[in-house]
Amino acid sequence: DAKTTQPNSMESNEEEPVHLPCNHSTISGTDYIHWYRQLPSQGPEYVIHGLTSNVNNRMASLAIAEDRKSSTLILHRATLRDAAVYYCILRDRGSTLGRLYFGRGTQLTVWP
Amino acid sequence: NAGVTQTPKFQVLKTGQSMTLQCAQDMNHEYMSWYRQDPGMGLRLIHYSVGAGITDQGEVPNGYNVSRSTTEDFPLRLLSAAPSQTSVYFCASSYGQGGTDTQYFGPGTRLTVL
């Protein structure tokens, strides 16, 4: 699976939108972009994934650049509960390996 | 559904002791895996299983054994604990192994080896 690059940390105020960037310049045409997050003292949890088009779910939105070399996870209104480490992970559509490659992710701090 | 459960939540061992970390899932998932997470780091894969009776090594398998006798359970055995195995251990499961499969993680077991 190709590598991703994320900022080490970001900060936001409560109820403001948060845009978490991820660069993946070596992405292949069959790589899906996944986001997971890890709340303090918990296991990672799935947030969202997409291939080419922007995606929305109840947790977040995923905006994917036209050339797919970068993407942005958007939290529309940050809450204190969104303080977590966010991981951007690429997975090949045809992958049979099952594993997720976790980098260090982005530590998001949300201020009240 | 309880999802993925892990026991114990906390464990302290002395060097050389052995123990088994338990993991169970009630979602009928074929794929299960064990990761470890050291402070300030991402997760690293220890072992995984693509179905009952089938297991394979991940990137950091030394010092650990696994078996998968049922779809539901995937225990991780530490053969002779070492301080380097002090870490947080997470079990995960998913329906399949494909690039679109969502993985579900347990709450973790925090292990300290003295």
Write the pLDDT tens digit of every residue in A52-95: 989 999 999 999 999 999 999 999 999 999 999 999 999 887 76
Closest B-chain CA to A102: B42
By the CB < 8 Å criterion, does A92 face chain B? yes
Say what the pLDDT of residue B39 is. Answer: 85
pLDDT at A2 exceeding the cut of 70: no
Mutant choice from A99, A101, A107 vs B, greatest count of B C-beta within 10 A: A99
For A30-53, what is the mean pLDDT? 94
pLDDT at A101 exceeding the cut of 70: yes
For B76-97, what is the mean pLDDT? 94
A41 vs B contacts (CB less than 8 Å): 108
When CB atoms are compared, the residue of B42, B97, B101 closest to A104 is B42
Say what the pLDDT of residue A66 is. Answer: 95
CA–CA min distance A67, chain B (Å)? 20
When CB atoms are compared, the residue of A43, A45, A103 closest to B42 is A103
Closest B-chain CA to A86: B42
Say what the pLDDT of residue B99 is. Answer: 76
Token representation of residue B104: 């579900």
pLDDT at B38 exceeding the cut of 60: yes
Q: CA-CA distance, B62 to A107, in Å (whole number)?
A: 30
Q: Do the chains contact at A41 and B4, CB–CB below 8 Å?
A: no
Say what the pLDDT of residue B112 is. Answer: 97
pLDDT at A3 exceeding the cut of 90: no
For B2-19, what is the mean pLDDT? 96
Q: CA-CA distance, A48 to A42, in Å (whole number)?
A: 18
Q: Do the chains contact at A102 and B92, CB–CB below 8 Å?
A: no
Contact (Cβ atoms closer than 8 angstroms) between residue A85 and residue A19? no
Q: Do the chains contact at A93 and B100, CB–CB below 8 Å?
A: yes
The pLDDT > 70 percentage for chain B reads: 100
Q: CA-CA distance, A103 to A26, in Å (whole number)?
A: 16
Phi, psi of B111 (to 5 degrees): -110, 130
Say what the pLDDT of residue B25 is. Answer: 97
Contact (Cβ atoms closer than 8 angstroms) between residue A95 and residue B98? yes
The pLDDT > 90 percentage for chain B reads: 85
The pLDDT > 90 percentage for chain A reads: 79
Q: CA-CA distance, B31 to A64, in Å (whole number)?
A: 28
When CB atoms are compared, the residue of B4, B40, B48 closest to A98 is B48
Cα B98 versus chain centre, distance: 19
| Per-residue confidence band for A1, with pLDDT thresholds at 50, 70 and 90 | low
| Cα first-last separation, chain A | 37
By the CB < 8 Å criterion, does A14 face chain B? no
When CB atoms are compared, the residue of A43, A92, A103 closest to B105 is A43
Q: Do the chains contact at A105 and B42, CB–CB below 8 Å?
A: yes
Mean model confidence pLDDT for chain A:
92
Between CA B17 and CA A37, with CA B3 as vertex, the angle to 5 degrees is: 85
Q: What is the dihedral of CA B42, B54, A96, A55, to 10 degrees?
A: -60
| Per-residue confidence band for B63, with pLDDT thresholds at 50, 70 and 90 | very high
Exposed/middle/buried for B54, CB within 10 Å: 0-12, 13-18, 19+? exposed
Say what the pLDDT of residue A98 is. Answer: 65
